[in-house]
Amino acid sequence: MKYREALEYLESIQNYGIVPGLESIVRLCGSLGDPQERLKFVHIAGTNGKGSTLAYLSNVLRCAGYRVGRYSSPAVLEYREIIQINGRNITQKAFCEGIELIRNACYQIVEEGYPHPTPFEVETALAFWYFDRAGCDIVVLETGMGGLYDATNLIQTTVAAVLASISMDHMKFLGGSLSEIAAHKAGILKEGCDAVSMEQAPEAMEVVRRVAEEKHCRLRVTDRACITNLRRSGRDVERQRFDYRSAEGSVLKDLEIHLGGVFQTDNVLLALETLRVLREKGFAVSETALRKGLRETVWPGRFSVISTKPLFVVDGAHNEDAAGKLARTVEMYFTNRRIIYIMGMLRDKECEKVISLTQSYADQIITVTPPENPRAMQAYDLAQEIARVHPRVTAADSLEEAVELARLLAAPEDVILAFGSLSYLGRLIRIAER
């Protein structure tokens, strides 16, 4: 199988959509010899922040000398980036070999009268197969949606279950209340495993504590007081420095990260507490590896600066919680600066709430249609929604037009902020960089 053929096969199965449940992935991985049973996992669920937490953990563990598998979605810059070992995308050769093997397994499954696995199940099985074949020491694994019935949750060898910020999203599948959504997220906790959670809203925290008790999990909850002496640079919006005090009282001074946004200190604290658990499980990490890993962590599309003069920032804020955090970040970094938005959303997201939380900071708003996405909200429809509360909004016919228009409108000291669905940010970044 050639690379184009592998991509065409994945495109051909997109109509199988999203089907929560574990029966299909259990069947598919079983046909591959259950590669996930020979791996150890840090399993991460949450609504926002799980990708950044994954990036910190996988990079620190890599710097500590481990062979680290990393599985996360969606892709931003290149499809194969969802599956990585030590920061390198799965090779085209391995990708083709694995997809051919999985395609044949899927054909056999269908011949036996079972439903064809979904695209996410195929990708998940591919990741497990690749990590097992490469002999990874540990895999940092991000759920796709929810947790309890997510395809990643067939694993049984969880070293640490990690819960990032839990908020309202994917209500069609996960439920209409925060407690229902939290129950899905907490579904990744396995009997007797160690669990680490960000401090959640009370309704969600109650559920997390209950599930941890039922599963006999030792639960650690992060405490923002452990991050002290926080310094942010007005010029370099991606650089943050801070001191970290562990629960035992030891202090690491002047740690540094290069992911911007007020929310990143919560994410890095969650990663630091998880690393404490991993040390207890035998995954030693020196202070040198910790500092280097945090400092060198990058995560495209999460308050990322792609150019200056004007400052051009992209961020994947696409739901109410993320939009609120983005608004606080804008207040912190861009007070008294003129801001031009580029916005693209999906129809099934909380469009009105995202608009409400962010529109007041923008001088001009340009809307786009996320390309090649059946769930995309049309630029004109998004512009109509924004026009209810903001007087200066324009619908662009393409991403290229949006970038060109934003740069025409922006003076060198202004800010262009593109946000919304991650599905279009990769292409927009490539256009802006050209």
The CATH superfamily holding the domain 3-295 is Mur-like, catalytic domain (3.40.1190.10)
pLDDT in tens, 138-162: 999 999 988 999 999 999 999 999 9
Q: What is the DSSP annotation of 398-412?
A: SHHHHHHHHHHH--T
Pairing of strands 311-315, 415-420: parallel
Burial of 179 (0-12, 13-18, 19+ CB in 10 A): middle
> How does DSSP assign 372-383, residue by residue?
T-TTBPPHHHHH
pTM, to two decimals: 0.91
The residue among 191, 256, 10, 17 whose CA lies nearest residue 115 is 17
Residue from 262, 49, 271, 18 nearest 167 by CA? 49
> Which is nearest to 219 in space by CA: 203, 199, 202?
199
Q: Supply 62's token pair.
A: 């890599």
**SS3 state of residue 140:** strand
Instruction: Give the separation between CA 294 and CA 62, rounded to whole angstroms.
Output: 11
**Helix, strand, or coil (residue 172):** helix
Q: Under 8 Å CB-to-CB from 188, ≥6 apart: which residues?
A: 43, 45, 143, 147, 148, 150, 152, 153, 158, 161, 163
Domain residues of the chain, as ranges? 3-295, 304-433
How would you write the pLDDT of the chain (434 residues) with one tens digit per residue? Answer: 899 999 999 999 988 888 888 999 999 999 999 999 999 999 999 998 999 999 999 999 999 999 999 999 888 888 999 999 999 999 999 999 999 999 999 999 999 999 999 999 999 999 999 999 999 999 999 999 889 999 999 999 999 999 999 987 767 778 889 999 999 999 999 999 999 999 999 999 999 999 999 999 999 999 999 999 999 866 678 899 999 998 777 899 999 999 988 889 999 999 999 999 999 999 999 999 999 999 999 988 888 898 888 999 999 888 888 899 899 999 988 988 999 999 999 988 789 999 999 999 999 999 999 998 888 999 999 999 999 999 999 999 999 999 999 999 999 999 999 999 888 998 999 999 88
Q: What's the CA gap between 46 and 36, in Å, rounded?
A: 21
Signed CA dihedral, 27, 31, 37, 42: sign only: negative
Domain 304-433 class in CATH? alpha beta
